[in-house]
Structure 1
Amino acid sequence: MDRQTGELTFLTNHAHVLMVIAREPSARLRDIAARCHISQRTALKIVSDLEEAGYLSRARDGRRTTYTLHLEGGLNHPAEAHVPVRRLVESLKLP
């Protein structure tokens, strides 16, 4: 359930952030936040969570940050541990 709207949602904010980064690896944090309808602070926390979990790494290039996704690992839930992150990203990657 989405805490703000009380509506059922299938993807978490972590999945939304991952998908935005998959589409645009050099997206600014404020753009990631806007596309996911979350605050910049929440977006930063989620990016940090994803980095800590090994789903991505980030590198600074001047004032910009570029993200690299690590898609070969499995998802962290036991029911989907056999599913590579790549399959999730490819199945949800919309234009």
Structure 2
Amino acid sequence: MAEEHEPRTSWTFLTQHARVLLMVSRDPQVRVRDLAASCGVTERAVQSIITDLESAGYLTRTRHGRRNHYHVTGHTHFRHPAEARHEIAGFLELFADLSPPPAPRATTAPVPVAGTSATTIPEPVRRTDPPTCRGGHR
């Protein structure tokens, strides 16, 4: 029988920069707090990543009242020379449909039988969490 070994390291194919860019492309008004929680990093790390992405021309940030609104620039190319001939738009499109599964629908309690004193109380609507991007950490 073969022994199962723990992985030598914890790594993923996507960097935190890629995860943040994907999440911003899905929700241009996403909060830094939500990005951090979904990616498993600090808010400060997300702010640094957003600054990196903005400086490199991958996204722009506009202030709308107290919130930021992001716009991903899809025609920019990957930074590494091996992928530099490809635009990030293809990457974003590849992962665009990998959103989390829809939240279960709220249901109502059974309708009481005539003559009983039970009342129908609908179950609370469950909050849908932002898409997760948990993975290996650097």
Distance 2:69 2:46 in 1: 15
Deviation beyond 2 Å, 4+ runs, structure 1: none
Kindly name which structure, 1 or 2, has the bigger radius of gyration based on alpha carbons: 2
> Is residue 20–residue 35 contact of structure 1 (8 Å, CA) maintained in 2?
no
**What is the CA deviation profile of residues 32-87 of structure 1, one whole-angstrom value per residue up to 9, with x for unaligned ones?**
11111110000000000000000000000000100000010110110001111100
Q: Pick the aligned partner of 1:18 from 15, 21, 43.
A: 21
1:43 and 2:41 correspond = no
Q: Secondary structure at the match of 1:44?
A: helix
Name structure 2 gaps, 5 residues minimum. 1-8, 100-138
1 or 2 for the larger relative contact order (CA 8 Å, sep ≥6)?
A: 2
1:88 and 2:91 correspond = yes
Amino acid aligned to 1:79: A
Cα root mean square deviation, aligned: 0.8
What number of residue pairs does the alignment pair up? 90
Distance 1:29 1:62 in 2: 15
Q: Pick the aligned partner of 1:28 from 28, 31, 36.
A: 31
Q: Pick the aligned partner of 1:62 from 50, 56, 65.
A: 65
**What is the CA deviation profile of residues 1-40 of structure 1, one whole-angstrom value per residue up to 9, with x for unaligned ones?**
xxxxx31211100001001101100001101111111100
Distance 1:36 1:19 in 2: 11
